[in-house]
């Protein structure tokens, strides 16, 4: 299944985001490549997902292959995986064309918040008007991907975030 996702920094968190529907997500990665192999626990469900780049040079369009696994399989894989992260995902806004989520990272990434826009119709890809609290789009930066983040601490990427927020490099 093809999915279109864009990632944004957040200038300021909307005051009501904690009141939105949310999920606790634990995930780890088995393959260290742009085509991630992710193991995830979310809302009591467990899955393995392979994400493949669908359009060369455009990291926002990926082909997803998602398969359910058992809780026991997740537990075994989680026990030996080195690249892990935990986050709370708040479903901020949804309409028939898109879904906007706020990811609040925990553990070593505590303090990191990213917004993810999932676009359901490719024809709507360029028509989304960012809300006032969204910062710069960072979709095509490798360091915003969970696979990369799962091996980092917030302090290791904070300078990258600050340089984008201020427009410096």
pLDDT tens digit sequence for 72-115: 999 999 999 989 999 999 998 877 788 999 999 999 999 999 99
Examine the pLDDT at 168 and tell me if it is beyond 60. Answer: no
pLDDT tens digits, 104-124 = 999 999 999 999 999 987 767
Q: Mind listing the pLDDT tens digit for each residue in 34-45?
A: 677 999 999 999
State the distance between the two ends of the chain, measured CA to CA, in whole angstroms.
36
Q: Domains of the chain, with CATH numbers?
A: 2-166 (2.40.320.10)
53, 59 Cβ separation under 8 angstroms: yes
The predicted pLDDT at position 167 comes to: 64
The C-alpha angle 129, 19, 3, rounded to 5 degrees, equals 45
């Amino acid at each position: 299944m093809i999915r279109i996702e864009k990632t944004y920094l957040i200038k300021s968190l909307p005051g009501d985001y904690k009141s939105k529907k949310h999920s606790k997500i634990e995930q780890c990665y088995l393959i260290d490549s742009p085509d991630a192999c992710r193991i995830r626990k979310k809302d009591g469900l467990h899955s393995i997902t392979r994400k493949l780049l669908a359009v060369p040079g455009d990291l926002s369009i990926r082909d997803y292959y998602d398969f359910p696994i058992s809780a026991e399989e997740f537990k075994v894989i989680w026990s030996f995986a080195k690249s892990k992260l935990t986050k709370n995902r708040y479903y901020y806004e949804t309409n028939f064309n898109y879904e906007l989520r706020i990811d609040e990272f925990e553990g070593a990434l505590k303090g990191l918040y990213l917004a993810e826009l999932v676009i359901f119709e490719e024809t709507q890809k360029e028509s989304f008007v960012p809300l006032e609290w969204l910062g710069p789009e960072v979709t095509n930066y490798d360091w915003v991907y969970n696979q990369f983040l799962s091996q980092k601490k917030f302090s290791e990427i904070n300078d990258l975030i600050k340089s984008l927020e201020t427009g410096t490099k």
